[in-house]
Amino acid sequence: MQNLTERPVNATSHKDLSVIIKVCVVIPFFCIFLCCVALMLHIFASHRQFLETSRYILFACMLINDTVQLLVSVLFFFLVMGQVKFALVYCVPLLFISNTAFQNTPLILATMSLERYVAIIYPLQCPPAWRSDRIWITSLSLWLLSCICTITECSIGQQKNAGDVLYIPVVCADAIVNASPNQMFFKTVVNILCFAVVAVIILFTYVRILLETRKLRQDRKSVSKAMHTVLLHGFQLLLCMLALTIPITETLIVLCTNWQPKDIAFFNFFCFVLIPHFLSPLIYGFRDQNFRSYIGKTFLCCSKRVKPSVKSLMQNNLFAS
């Protein structure tokens, strides 16, 4: 009898410890990401040269998009960890934001690659749509296109008694809410087409810029930077595509290990959602020389502000003594 009563306690304590470890892993990553993004957006908004450059405007849009997606994903993570259930009417907007941001990520990467292509091929006669005062329209158009895809996915689901279903408490997850075969098929087709088209665009821009380097004998440095930037967009696209491999990894993990479903879900979330969206904007931001210099100046100014305050405090203590 004593052994029978100890097992549930041990199982419960093991579950609690597992949840605590997962939360302690996710929170530092998310906090570091938010601090870095806040610093980059502050630098972007504080300097006119960034506000008047199409490349940096698109980069700021990518930062905001990834922050929104990661924020909603982390919120879903905490809800699943706590087994929180709430009405579908509150869950659907969160899923809409998450799916729209996910769909928008490759579109932004394709637009950034095309912007580099236009800047190299047409350095003196930039098309009006790619100018800094109109690039916002392009960014909003990408959001609109992503919203249309998400709305279409939601609308083709099986229509039931909407008044009753919307107020039934459920675990807020895309696999539960959008479980219709038609929705799954539509989502798979759209994702494959979207990522394939974006991959072709990135490859096209890279090859065109590579061919342009043979023609240009001047300013090879800027052309090589553009080539590296387009390659980076390709790497970012690969990071985003890792989220599409989650069903495959789940099958492999189930076949090879005896992990619990919660552990499998956390592994996929950490490796294919958290890490890619953590690395993608930070690599791009810290790689950029202008952003990196302003980040260094920001930290230098903060350190200079701290040192005088410490000195004045020591002087006050000496005078007081």
pLDDT in tens, the chain (321 residues): 445 444 455 555 666 787 888 888 899 989 988 998 998 899 998 888 888 889 899 999 999 999 999 999 899 888 887 778 888 888 888 989 999 998 998 899 899 889 988 888 887 787 888 888 889 899 999 999 999 998 888 888 655 545 566 777 877 877 777 767 888 888 888 888 988 899 899 889 888 888 877 676 556 676 777 777 788 878 878 877 777 777 777 777 767 777 777 788 888 888 888 888 777 777 777 878 888 888 877 767 765 554 444 444 334 433 333
pLDDT at 13: 65
Q: Which of 242, 274, 241, 250 is nearest to 77 (CA)?
A: 274
Is there a single domain that holds both residue 199 and residue 301? no
pLDDT at 1: 44
Is there a single domain that holds both residue 160 and residue 294? no
- Give the distance, in angstroms, between the CA of residue 177 and the centroid of all CA atoms in the same chain: 22
Is there a single domain that holds both residue 263 and residue 308? no
Is there a single domain that holds both residue 169 and residue 292? no
Is there a single domain that holds both residue 304 and residue 281? no
Is there a single domain that holds both residue 312 and residue 221? no
Give the 3-state secondary structure of residue 167. coil
Sorted by sequence, the CB contacts under 8 Å of residue 25 that are 6+ apart come out as: 270
Is there a single domain that holds both residue 205 and residue 295? no
pLDDT at 145: 93
Sorted by sequence, the CB contacts under 8 Å of residue 49 that are 6+ apart come out as: 290
What are the backbone dihedrals phi and psi of residue 217, each rounded to the nearest 5 degrees, phi first? -95, -15
Strands (E), the chain: 85-87, 169-171
Q: What is the torsional sign of CA 105, 95, 139, 144?
A: positive
pLDDT at 312: 43
pLDDT at 278: 79
What's the residue count for the chain?
321
Work out how many domains the chain is built from and give that number: 2
Is there a single domain that holds both residue 183 and residue 308? no
**Spatial distance between the Cα atoms of 152 and 150, rounded to a whole number of angstroms:** 5
Is there a single domain that holds both residue 7 and residue 57? yes
Domain residues for the domain of 69 are 2-287
**Spatial distance between the Cα atoms of 113 and 234, rounded to a whole number of angstroms:** 9
pLDDT at 5: 46
- Give the distance, in angstroms, between the CA of residue 193 and the centroid of all CA atoms in the same chain: 20
pLDDT at 120: 82
Residue 218 sits in a domain of what CATH number? 1.20.1070.10
Is there a single domain that holds both residue 46 and residue 136? yes
- What is 10-25 written as a DSSP string? HHHHHHHHHHHHHHHH
Is there a single domain that holds both residue 65 and residue 76? yes
Is there a single domain that holds both residue 58 and residue 68? yes
**Spatial distance between the Cα atoms of 313 and 291, rounded to a whole number of angstroms:** 33
